[in-house]
Amino acid sequence: ALLGTGVRPSPLSRSFPLCAAFLSFAGSASWGATYPGSLLSVRGSCAVIPCTFRFPSNVDSSAGITAIWYKEHAGQQITVYHSATPASADERFRARTELLGNPLQKNCSLLLRAVTTSDSGKYNFRFEVRNANSWTEKRTVQLTVTGERPPAVASLGDLQEGVPATFNCSSPYVCPFATSSLQWTGYNAEASLVSEQVQLSTAGVLWRETLHTSFSWKEHNQKLSCELSVGTEKAVGDITVRVKHAPQGVAVSLNPPAQNIRVGDAASLVCNVNSSYPDVASYRWFKDGAASGNERVKSFPSVAREDYGQYRCEATNSVGRRGGRGLLHVPSAERQGERDVAGRGAEHRL
């Protein structure tokens, strides 16, 4: 069951009522209790064990139901919580445990506050129907208390430029009664939507932050991060965004640049690409509109005046192609009195 879905309502400091409607009930023909097989919590935070129980419908529970939680310790079972005689609970837990559910509604969810690493271990539940029968659930829930672990960030692989994508960041730490946040960074908030889902059920516990956004080629190789904060503990998970895009910033430059290149000198035009993902697969040159080669560097071993012209380079990858222009200027042979210069000016970008 999912609790709370919509635009970001974090931090997760509001209360989540663990009413029966949000919990998964098994069949009503037998005795038993249901809760997750394992849970994680952060030192200093809290742990919530979602729990339901069942008994045959012909059992009269009008006299009341006693709820008891145990923890395995040194080969023994110590009482963590006792609804009928709270003082019988172990003093290490007595002031830190609370039953969030109503036993008459078959809800046995337990809250454990201010957890420490010594709280790690196996817990199980027992209920007693007064003037009837009782049941001790043999299956346990393993609680592990650690320092904060980085949230899991799902990578989508290569993205298409401008196409909306969905990113999920999730954490197994859920404490509705502590100041917590799960937050994305590294995206354009004005063009994005963030939603939150909290699963707190007998099937498992999970906190998920979902980001809906898109990226441009300028954000290729940018880091997208998700930060989990629980009290003073923080941990970050991140991915590198890879945005597929056609070659960008294509420009033609002359080599050597802005030099006195005379007729007969060696020169070259270089097709420069600022960004391309995937890599450029091919280049094409055009001189005054006519095809003139397919290499990245167009070489002139000995510049002649007929090499004069407007050159255009096109760079192509699997996404598309882009082009840039440059001018190769060669003076006429009749103008020997003038300085022979090949190539004047800066790069031209499209």
DSSP 45-94: S-EEE--EEE--TTS--TT-EEEEEEEEETTEEEEEEESS-GGGS-TTTT
Helix (H, G, I), strand (E, B) or coil at 21: helix
Comparing 174 with 257, which gets the higher pLDDT? 174
Question: What share of the chain in percent tops pLDDT 70?
Answer: 85
CB neighbour list of residue 228: distance below 8 Å, 6 or more residues apart = 148, 150, 151, 171, 173, 180, 181, 182, 234, 235, 236, 237
Task: Return left, alpha or beta for 205; rule: phi > 0 is left, psi -120 to 50 is alpha, else beta.
Answer: beta
pLDDT at 325 over 70: yes
Average of per-residue pLDDT across 94-117: 95
Given the candidates 3.40.50.10480, 2.40.340.10, 3.40.50.720, 2.60.40.10, the CATH classification of the domain at 14-146 is: 2.60.40.10
Q: Quick one: CATH architecture of 152-243?
A: Sandwich (2.60)
Query: What is the reported pTM?
Result: 0.75
Fold agreement between 152-243 and 245-349: yes
| The pLDDT of residue 90 is above 90 | yes
Residue ranges per structural domain of the chain? 14-146, 152-243, 245-349
Residue 39 in this model has a pLDDT that exceeds 70: yes
pLDDT at 349 over 60: no
Q: What is the pLDDT averaged over residues 49-65?
A: 95
Per-residue pLDDT at 117: 95
Instruction: State the pLDDT at residue 193.
Output: 96
pLDDT by residue (tens digit) across 119-160?
999 999 999 999 999 999 999 999 999 988 899 998 788 999
Query: Model confidence at 340, in pLDDT bands (50, 70, 90)?
Result: very low
The whole-number pLDDT of residue 259 equals 64
Instruction: Please check the confidence at residue 278 and state whether its pLDDT lies above 70.
Output: yes
Per DSSP bridges, beta strands 243-248 and 159-160 are parallel
Give the per-residue pLDDT at 330.
65
Instruction: Determine contact, residues 58/162, Cβ cutoff 8 Å.
Output: no
Q: Which two tokens stand for residue 84?
A: 């009928």
16 or 7: which leads in pLDDT: 16
Between the alpha carbon of residue 65 and those of residues 38, 83, 139, 221, 236, the distances in Å are 26, 9, 20, 59, 44
Tell whether omega for the bond before 256 is within 30 degrees of 0, i.e. cis.
yes
Half-sphere exposure of 50 (CA within 13 A, CB side): 30
**Residue 260 pLDDT level (bands cut at 50, 70, 90):** low
Domain 245-349 carries which CATH code?
2.60.40.10
The whole-number pLDDT of residue 331 equals 59
Rounded to an integer, the average pLDDT of 6-15 is 37
**What is the rounded average pLDDT for all residues in the chain?**
85
Region 85-96: what's the mean pLDDT?
Answer: 96
